[in-house]
């Protein structure tokens, strides 16, 4: 713990608590983080085949826990260079609600996630797996059945990260 921030690092299955970072190049379990995410019921069911190629480049996950007036924790997803985006780290901050209902204090179960904020993913051209192009038939006066491409959101693991999107 330093400056009110506690850090936890797990790389390729080896836990490393404190300020010392885990060695991302150390031999470990291949596709460790992909396997972890696939084995978490609430997350694993959202992982689609197109997510797997991206998640294979996930090499580390770290967590910063901030105590004090505005408690929160930040998950840092560390990626090896990949064909999909230029970010090496994707972050998501979870803000916690620490107060209990004064009218019913016995119902307090501990901190709750109040809101969250993700980073902007810098997708490489044509590689944004959270969107897909769909061919739509569009009738116009000049051309009948002209094809049009539209963006359509996909339900993917990466929607857990960014509520923000840069076009």
**pTM for the full model?**
0.69
What H or E segment, with its residue span, contains residue 11?
A: strand 5-11
Q: Which helix (H) or strand (E) holds 63?
A: strand 58-66
The answer to whether the beta carbons of residues 10 and 61 sit under 8 Å apart is yes
End-to-end Cα separation, the chain, in angstroms: 38
Task: Pull the structure tokens for residue 83.
Answer: 């064909």
Tell me the pLDDT tens digit for each residue of 88-147: 999 989 998 888 778 888 888 888 888 888 888 898 988 888 776 666 666 666 655 555
Measured distance CA(43)–CA(55) in Å, rounded: 13
Tens of pLDDT, residues 12-68: 555 555 444 445 555 678 899 999 989 988 888 888 888 898 999 999 999 999 988
């Amino acid at each position: 713990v330093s400056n009110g921030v506690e850090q936890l690092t797990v790389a390729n299955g080896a836990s490393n608590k404190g300020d010392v970072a885990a060695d991302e190049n150390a031999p470990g379990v291949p596709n460790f983080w992909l396997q972890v995410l696939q084995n978490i019921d609430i997350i694993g069911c959202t992982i689609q085949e197109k997510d797997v190629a991206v998640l294979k480049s996930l090499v580390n996950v770290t967590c910063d826990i901030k105590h004090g007036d505005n408690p929160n924790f930040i998950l840092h997803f560390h990626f090896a260079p990949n064909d999909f985006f230029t970010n090496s780290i994707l972050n998501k901050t979870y803000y916690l609600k620490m107060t209990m209902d004064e009218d019913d204090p016995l119902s307090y179960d501990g901190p709750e996630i109040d809101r969250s904020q993700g980073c902007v993913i810098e997708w490489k051209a044509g590689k944004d797996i959270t969107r897909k192009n769909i061919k739509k038939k569009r009738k116009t006066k000049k051309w009948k059945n002209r094809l049009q491409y539209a963006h359509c959101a996909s339900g993917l693991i990466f929607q857990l990260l960014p509520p923000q999107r840069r076009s």
